A and B are shown apart, each in its own frame.
Chain A
Amino acid sequence: MWQGFVDFVHQLLPWFDGGLAIVIIILIKGVALILPLIIMMAYMTYAERKVIGYMQLRIGPNRVGPIGLLQPFADVFKMMFKEIIFPTKANVYLFVLAPILAFVPAIAIWAVIPLGQEFYITNLDISLLYVLAIGSVGVYGIILAGWASNSKYPLLGALRSASLLVSYEIVIGFVAVTVVMVASSVNLNEIVSSQSGGIWNWYWIPLFPMMIVFWISALTETNRAPFDVVEGESEIVGGTHVEYSGMCFALFFMAEYINMIMMATLAVLMFFGGWHSPFEGVPYLQEFFAFVPDIMWLLVKMSFFLFLYLWIRATFPRYRYDQIMRLCWKVFLPLTIVWIMVVALMTQLHLGPWF
């Protein structure tokens, strides 16, 4: 009996070496990345309520825990114990599939995002393309939710949001092309490595208009104010997730916030030197900040962009649907195409420290 077990284990060992060990390591890495991400997302909701509260001269949540710090956990437990209601005549399979399809791509993108010199799950050769491809899958969550709910408001929200997301993906793709042209690589690790050496080596200087375009497109891609046509509380109640409750709704919510964190990280990776310190090459400051781990720089820059999300939401009035579409097709698209030409010219002339 024992001998049979040992033989069985020995038969399994080559499997373990050939792939199972790699799978287990990847799973551990994934959990180590996803858990902090979920906590970050939870505190993003807290930060949003606090920051917008102070901008509107309110205090924001302050009842659960000291200065309201346990509020996200209270929200999570409330969501978990809520009943999930299925509308009559809703397509149950697609109704359940929709939040999953919104959440899974949001998480899957993080497989290739490098957070530090040695801090990533995989160093994929085409990671920027992977990010764009998996990011475009998230739109199915919205489309399916709108259709499967068998309700009018979700359908309207899904229709206008889906057309918007597809349009802005083109702009983001073109912006990514300019970054790829400057860095001459589609690998996010290499894009960041080629920006090493101080704040003036980052790509926000040669690609300044593209950075602005990218950030506005990022607001649209994550359905955030002032471009939140998927929700639009004053027009169509809650948009695609009107009929959702409990954890099904929470999945949409989490997907939105994780996508926000991802877009902020992507902006840092593409335009703001990723994990590089802004003081690289500066005589005194470089030694002074040498003790800071590289991931800290990325987190600081990312936090700024996350704050920018909240700042913009609190201060800008909402756009009308046709205005957003015009902004995409008639302003951003020509601008990005022109800037591709400019970048090509700058590459030919070997301008500055970037090319």
Chain B
Amino acid sequence: MEFSSILFYVFGFCLVASSAMLVIARNTLKAAMLLILSFFSVASLWLLLEAEFLAITLILVYVGAVMVLFLFVIKMLNIDQSTIRAKFTTYLPLGIFISIVVIAQIALVLSAGQFDLENVEEPTRHVAGYSNITELATDLYTTYVYPFELAAVLLLIAIIAAITLVHRKDSRSKKQNISEQISVQASDRMRLASISSTKSKETK
């Protein structure tokens, strides 16, 4: 057995175990942490397949940003475990039915013989100086430049749409205008008045 295959089995075991525990875990935050562990295991497996850019992007995007927002939501929600567990038996038959269907689908696809080892070509191993990211960039910006740009524009539209949905003028909002606060001058807040010290005595 090669060293890389030992690594494969270690990360594979981590992935399967964390995914299984993720489904079983009762604490939502623990489940989220297990999901992060499975992301890391997948990233390590991809590194073994020489897809280092994909692996790092998975960690950067999903672990670094998406899961942080997930945890945010989980923290803000007050999840009452007892109400969730109360309806466990009512949903049990439906749950069992759906899982049987899913397992059957996976079993059917896998037993069709399409994914046997002899059907799948072994990925070619590259030499040490091979740059995965350069190859990817060349493909992305020459052959697939229009789909790539279209996807980018689509994402931009989604961002703008999401912001316009939540961004509305609320009259009760006590927002502070920071640029106004920062650009304030001494003359806006303070007036230097020259009052002669003798004048008050004269009026008396």
Contacts and interface: CB of A to CB of B under 8 A. Distances in A.
**A and B held together in a complex:** yes
A353 B60 CA distance: 32
B3 to A, nearest CB: 3
A286 B69 CA distance: 51
A133 interface: yes
Interface stretch (B27-35, B91-99, B102-110): B27-35
B178 A132 contact: no
Nearest to B130: A125
B14 interface: no
A97 B75 CA distance: 17
B56 A323 contact: no
A158 B75 CA distance: 10
Contacts of B69: 166
Contact of A326 (B27, B64, B178): B178
Interface string A71-108: 00000000000000000000101100100000000000
Interface stretch (A1-9, A134-142, A236-244, A264-272): A134-142
A18 B65 contact: no
A94 B33 contact: yes
A18 B4 CA distance: 9
Contacts of B42: none
A133 B176 contact: no
Contacts of A124: 52
A133 B59 contact: yes
A159 B72 contact: yes
B2 interface: yes
Nearest to B53: A126
Interface string B10-34: 0000000000000000010110010
B138 interface: no
Interface string A143-180: 11011100000010011001100100100000000000
A186 B133 contact: yes
Given A19-B3, A94-B30, A162 B68 contact: yes
| Contact residues on A (Cβ < 8 Å of other chain), bracket | 35 or more
A129 interface: yes
Contact of A125 (B36, B57, B75, B131): B131
Contacts of B36: 140
A95 to B, nearest CB: 11
A148 B29 CA distance: 9
B6 A143 contact: no
Nearest to A169: B64
Contacts of B65: 136, 166, 169
B158 interface: no
Q: Of residues B30, B53, B59, which shows the largest number of chain A Cβ atoms within 10 Å of its Cβ?
A: B59
B68 A143 contact: yes
Interface in B115-142: 131-133
Nearest to B64: A136
Interface in A312-333: 322-323, 326
Contact of B64 (A126, A133, A158): A133
Nearest to A166: B68
A43 interface: no
Nearest to A130: B56
Q: Of residues B2, B3, B59, B132, which shows the largest number of chain A Cβ atoms within 10 Å of its Cβ?
A: B3
Given A163-B72, A169-B64, A323-B178, A129 B56 contact: yes
A133 B72 contact: no
Given A125-B132, A163-B72, A322 B176 contact: yes
Contact of A133 (B4, B60, B68, B71): B60
A19 B4 contact: yes
B3 A133 contact: no
A129 B60 contact: yes
Contacts of A133: 56-57, 59-60, 63-64
B33 A97 contact: yes
A125 B133 contact: yes
Interface string B171-199: 00000101100000000000000000000
A164 to B, nearest CB: 11
A147 B70 CA distance: 13
B3 A20 contact: yes
A320 to B, nearest CB: 8
A262 B60 CA distance: 18
Contacts of B57: 129, 133
Q: Of residues A124, A125, A159, which shows the largest number of chain B Cβ atoms within 10 Å of its Cβ?
A: A125
Given A126-B52, A169-B65, 11 more contacts: A15-B3, A19-B6, A22-B3, A125-B132, A129-B57, A129-B60, A133-B57, A134-B59, A137-B59, A143-B71, A158-B75
7 contacts: A19-B4, A125-B133, A126-B53, A137-B63, A143-B72, A169-B65, A186-B133
Q: Which 5 A-B pairs have the closest CB atoms?
A: A19-B3, A136-B64, A133-B60, A133-B59, A18-B3
